[in-house]
Every structure is written in C-alpha cells, then in structure tokens.
Chains A and B, each alone.
Chain A
C-alpha cells in the first residue's frame, strides 16, 4: 500500500531524512519510534504533504501512485490521513461544519453522494460515542479551547469519520492521561482492518500497550536503523535508545 524508497528530505539547508525505506501493507500496523529530533514527525508531515520540507531524493507511493506531487487535499482524497501532533485551532469554524465539508469533498471523490447536515449527524453518531466526545465539542470552533486530550480524541474522531486507507498518527499519545490514552487507543483499534494501514509515530512504548503493532521501526538521525516485531518496543522501553546507538556504532 504505502511504499517509501530511499527518502531524503531537508528543511531549509538542514538534512532531516537520509534514506528511509518502509513498506506498509493493508491490514498492518507499524510503529515508528525514535528519540527527539530523529525525523519521525518530518516523515509524518511529508506523507501528509506539508510544504516546509523539501524532498531531495527517493519516492513515496500509495497503491503505486506517486503522492509527492499531490496537494494535501489530493492526498486526503487518495485516502491519507494525518492525526496531527498539534491539532490546529480554527476560531470561527465549527467542528461539524469543518468535518462535513471535509467528508463531502472526500465522498465526492469516491463518487458517493454528499451528506446533508441531518444525514451527517446520523453518520457520525456512533463515532462520537466511541470517542466519548461531549456533544458540545461538535458545535464549538475547531479545537478552540479544547483540552489536550479533547484535541487528540477529536483527531481520532475525524479519522473514524473520514475512514482513510492509510492513517498516520503523529505522537497522538503525547500529553494524554491514561483514560484519554485508552479512549484514543480504542478508537484506533476499532479502525484496524484488512483494508487499512496504520502508522503510529511515537516516542514512548506506552501507547503500544494499547495499540499493539505488527512491526516496530527505530528511526535515528534520519534513517531506520532497526526493525522488528512488537518485542523491539519492549526492549527499547527497558534499555532506552542508547542500546541501539551502541549496536549501530558497533556495526559501523
């Protein structure tokens, strides 16, 4: 589904990614872990189409289609979803207005009829309940004045409504207390399925207790230096990132 080959990217003159290779198949959950500054969030942003990064080499394809040339909205139409590390507050635009506009644009591209406000409200009802979102959050401005946990729940709620093919979660666990973490994890788990690929970007292994990944990759200094199964995350938890640095140094 998602195939990243030898991806290099920089911001201004500073190289951030130095040759990433990653394949995510439908039905798989991949965790990308790494210390601060390793390039995790850059990778997530490049997949979603943020233009502050310059790709200097390599390719990213979704189902064989080169996505690097697509606008962010076209990537959303293609089925890519990024759960933001820092969801943006948009005063003056209500959550429901925003999400219905997003969904109707995506539905248009899937040749599905647009939903009226009533149909939309019916469509999202079970998802609102799943994410334990207070109904008042729906009529409030997007993320404005939301708590950290509410913002992250709102991201996963949007993901549930938009039903992407590939979801990238950028540090969705940061700033969450244990209850909010469980709600978020439940939401993500409910969306796991044979049709969907999920990439979980995280610093800590804590989230992976609840969203159990099929694969774990360690990103350091712009490269994936080690890949493995779930046990790799547990090993990192126990030994810290230092032990991988040692391994990488020993190989060199």
Chain B
C-alpha cells in the first residue's frame, strides 16, 4: 500500500513514549496484542479521501495536529452533573481524558456475579472471559466483502490501557441502566484518548448500557472501540451518545456479536465534534436473532458526520431493522453507508434498512449509499434512502396556527428525529437528549431561536 504521508505524525510518535506505561496495564499477553496492532496501524497509517471507506472525511487534522497522549484533568462532581447526560439514575463509570475517575463514578449494589467497572479491575476477576472476547469482535477477518480496513481499531488496540468492562452472567436481568461516561477536557493543548469498552452478556442476560462521550473543552481526538457480545437469548439495549466539542475528532468503532435468539438494540446518537465517524458492525452468528440499529445525527457549522453500518447475516432466520436519520444545517456534511451481507446459509433473513437525510440549508450535503449483498435466495431485504427538506405544507400549517417559523421548523426537525430517540427506553436519557436536540437545532445559523421543550 502506498503511503500518501510519509512523515511520522504524533499518533505514531506517542507509541514509543507510552510503551512502558501501557505494558503495565493488564496481563502480559496484552503487550503482544498491542505491538501487533501498532504494526498493523503503522503499515496503513491515517486514511485519506482516496480510501473508499473514508471518501468524504478528510482526516488531515489528525495528520497535521500534534496530539499528545491524554493527560489528567480535574472535573468535579458538579461539572459532571451539569454535563450532557451527567446526571442519570444509573450505575456509572466515569473516565476523564481516558483515565478512570473513581471519585466521579457511582458505587451500587450489583446483582450477584455482575461486574461494572474498569477493564483493569475486570482482569482480576474475569481474566479468561476478557481475553476470550477482547479484540475478537472488532474484527472483520474472514467476513464477506471486507476491505480489512480496521486501522482505527488497530490504533485503539495499540494504546489499550484503561477501559470499561460490563459483565452480566447467565440469566441475570440488570434492571438499572449502566452508564459509561468519557469526559474530555483539553485545557492544556490537543490530546488523543483511546477509550475501550467490552460488554459481555451471557446466556439470557439482560442489560441497558449507555455509553456517553462528552467534550467539555478544547481540541482532542477520541478513538474509541466498543465490543459487545450477546450470548444465547440475551438482550442488550445499547445507546451511544457523542456530544464532543466542536473542535474534536471522534472516531468510534462498535462491534457486536449476537448468538442465537438474542435481541440487540443500538441507538447511535451523534450530535457533536468537528469530524465524527461511527462504524457500527453487527455479526449474527446464531439463528432467530433480532437487531435494531437506530441512528440520529445532527450536523451544523462545518461538521462532518459519517456513519458506516454493517450487518453480517451469517445464519438463517434472523431479522434486522435499521433506521438512520441525519439532520444537516449550515455547511455540514453527512455520510451514510449501510452494508448488509446475507450469507449463503442465511435463508429466511428479513433485513430492512431506512436512511433519511434532512437538509436545513442549501449548503449542507448528504451522501448516502445502501450496500446490500445477498448470497441466499429465500430472503426479504429492503432498503430506502431519501434526502429532503422540511415540508412546506407542514410548515405553513403550523405557522397558520400561530407557531412562529423558527419554532415550527424546530418542531418538525424534532419530529423527524423522534422516531429514533423514541427507541431509547431509559427515560431520563431520552428526555435529556431531546433537550439537546432542541438547543442544537436552535443554535444553527438557519434557526437562531431555540424552543422550550
């Protein structure tokens, strides 16, 4: 592979610096994994827009910027609580600039056998389980149509240090939601952090996990990887929210594996950052699974929000339903790429993909590409992509009843997003996100007035 940029950049340089510190985290074998991942990343480097999978996302910022290894920052409880989703009634694990912050995390009595905490502590009690899954799901090797372009997974793995681990044993229903918060505050110059989350639900276990990325200040790069595995008949509602600062780069990979009979719901909410890229990959390795991928993004100013989703229907009788919506204002760019692979074995697959872009400005753009590859003959697969503006007749109807233009627009934008936000069953999280959506729409250059929720 040719490298466009030959000179070393800060992400590579950091590795030498951090190697001894990283080696102290977790069992020894991890260091071998890190070294290999680092080589994998170094070989391909930062993608350019000539790489098909990054066609619309210029990552020059990463190449040119000096991103130091994440450093500590002080965030007190009050700041946490006033931050986005910082005050949910949940079992909470908080990281600040990539470092575990025990003083901000909440201790709860957990059902027997449940673990919610850092990977590091997880290794003490569940080393075998973690090693069985860590790095095994965020991996496309051997899958159909893969370009094996997992460089940001490699980069994250190379710097694997502190992370979060959620474990729910067989048959246990965790009623209280779990929240993992990654706060970023770059008040001493740009940094890069590598959040890592592993969620393991054993057979028939149930949980709701909210993964929140919040930026408080400054320029930084979040390179996150989350792996989730659902055992037979397990049920996971997984909400990922990113409200990073306007100057940040957020690149996240979420890879989920579902065994037979399991139900997985991913709610992917992307409101922040200068450049956001989400890869959501779900692999169905058992029969009779159900998968819901819901996504909503809001881009304004010069934001770029790129969502790539991939569902591997490897087994028969599985259903997947996907709805992704993008709201784009000002000069924002939205990207959606939705891959669905139906393997030869996967008869009776039912896959439905919907993607909608709402443009609030003539200078906003949206690129959508459904990509269905079907190798079985008895399947039901549909996809639909639309790009549009707010409906004039609806706008007039609201205004004719006395609702001012800006408020009417905000109501209609909200209604567009509601279908996705309604899927979040953790009520205080949903309410908080609705409020952010309103204020975010209100702040755009097109719609200068916020409406009261």
Interface residues of A (CB under 8 A from B): 48-51, 71-73, 75-77, 82, 84, 87-88, 90-93, 97-99, 101-103, 105-106, 109, 141-142, 158, 162
What's the least CB distance linking A96 to chain B, in Å?
Answer: 13
Is B440 close to A, CB under 8 A? no
A92 touches B418 (CB 8 A): yes
B412 touches A77 (CB 8 A): no
Q: By CB atoms of chain B within 10 A, which of A72, A84, A162 has the most? A: A72
Besides A92-B414, A102-B402, 20 more A-B contacts (Cβ < 8 Å) are A48-B400, A49-B400, A71-B404, A73-B402, A73-B404, A73-B405, A77-B402, A87-B397, A88-B393, A88-B396, A90-B394, A92-B418, A92-B419, A93-B412, A98-B403, A99-B401, A101-B407, A101-B411, A105-B404, A109-B402
Residue-wise interface mask of B (387-417) relative to A, using a CB-CB cutoff of 8 A (1 in contact, 0 not):
0000101101111111111011001101110
A90 touches B398 (CB 8 A): yes
What's the least CB distance linking B40 to chain A, in Å?
Answer: 44
- 7 tightest A-B CB contacts, nearest first: A92-B415, A76-B402, A102-B401, A72-B399, A88-B397, A92-B418, A106-B402
Residue-wise interface mask of B (118-131) relative to A, using a CB-CB cutoff of 8 A (1 in contact, 0 not):
00000000000000
A101 surroundings in chain B (CB, below 8 A)? 403, 407, 411
A97 to B452, CA, bound (A): 12
Which residue of chain A has its CB nearest to the CB of B391? A88
Which residue of chain B has its CB nearest to the CB of A97? B411
Which residue of chain B has its CB nearest to the CB of A72? B399
A88-B393, A90-B394, A101-B411 known; A71+B419 contact, CB < 8 A? no
What's the least CB distance linking A89 to chain B, in Å?
Answer: 8
Q: How many B residues are at the interface, by size bracket?
A: 20 to 34
What's the least CB distance linking B374 to chain A, in Å?
Answer: 30
What's the least CB distance linking B119 to chain A, in Å?
Answer: 40
A50 to B418, CA, bound (A): 28
A98 to B402, CA, bound (A): 10
A105 touches B403 (CB 8 A): yes
A191 to B416, CA, bound (A): 35
Q: Is the interface of B mostly helix, strand, loop or mixed?
A: helix
A90-B412, A98-B411 known; A162+B400 contact, CB < 8 A? no
What's the least CB distance linking A167 to chain B, in Å?
Answer: 12
A71 surroundings in chain B (CB, below 8 A)? 399, 404-405
Which residue of chain B has its CB nearest to the CB of A52? B392
A73 touches B415 (CB 8 A): no
A102 surroundings in chain B (CB, below 8 A)? 398, 401-403
Interface residues of B (CB under 8 A from A): 391, 393-394, 396-405, 407-408, 411-412, 414-416, 418-419
What's the least CB distance linking A212 to chain B, in Å?
Answer: 27
A82 to B403, CA, bound (A): 14
B399 surroundings in chain A (CB, below 8 A)? 49, 71-73, 76
B415 touches A93 (CB 8 A): yes
B415 touches A72 (CB 8 A): no
17 contacts across the A-B interface (CB closer than 8 A): A49-B399, A72-B396, A72-B399, A73-B399, A73-B402, A73-B403, A76-B401, A82-B400, A97-B411, A98-B403, A99-B401, A101-B403, A102-B402, A102-B403, A109-B402, A141-B415, A142-B397
A91 touches B397 (CB 8 A): no
A40 to B289, CA, bound (A): 57
B400 touches A98 (CB 8 A): no
Which residue of chain A has its CB nearest to the CB of B417? A92
B402 touches A162 (CB 8 A): yes
Which residue of chain B has its CB nearest to the CB of A108? B402
A50 to B419, CA, bound (A): 29
A87 to B419, CA, bound (A): 22
A158 touches B412 (CB 8 A): no
A49 surroundings in chain B (CB, below 8 A)? 399-400
A103 to B394, CA, bound (A): 17
A76-B399, A102-B401 known; A90+B407 contact, CB < 8 A? no
B419 touches A98 (CB 8 A): no
Which residue of chain B has its CB nearest to the CB of A86? B393
A50 touches B396 (CB 8 A): yes
A50 to B392, CA, bound (A): 10
Q: By CB atoms of chain B within 10 A, which of A49, A92, A109 has the most? A: A92
A50 surroundings in chain B (CB, below 8 A)? 396, 400
A93 to B407, CA, bound (A): 13
A87 to B400, CA, bound (A): 11
B396 touches A90 (CB 8 A): no
What's the least CB distance linking A79 to chain B, in Å?
Answer: 10
A49 to B408, CA, bound (A): 15
B415 surroundings in chain A (CB, below 8 A)? 90-93, 141
A142 to B412, CA, bound (A): 12
B401 touches A158 (CB 8 A): yes
A102 to B412, CA, bound (A): 14
A106 to B401, CA, bound (A): 9
A37 to B391, CA, bound (A): 25
Q: Which of A51, A97, A109, A162 contacts B401 (CB 8 A)?
A: A162
What's the least CB distance linking B115 to chain A, in Å?
Answer: 39
Which residue of chain A has its CB nearest to the CB of B416? A92
B396 surroundings in chain A (CB, below 8 A)? 50-51, 72, 88
What's the least CB distance linking A107 to chain B, in Å?
Answer: 9
B402 touches A90 (CB 8 A): no
What's the least CB distance linking A250 to chain B, in Å?
Answer: 40
A102 to B402, CA, bound (A): 5
A72 to B416, CA, bound (A): 23
Q: By CB atoms of chain A within 10 A, which of B399, B401, B415, B418 has the most? A: B401
A98-B411, A101-B411 known; A90+B405 contact, CB < 8 A? no
B418 surroundings in chain A (CB, below 8 A)? 92
A141 surroundings in chain B (CB, below 8 A)? 415
Which residue of chain B has its CB nearest to the CB of A109? B402
Which residue of chain B has its CB nearest to the CB of A82? B400
B407 touches A72 (CB 8 A): no
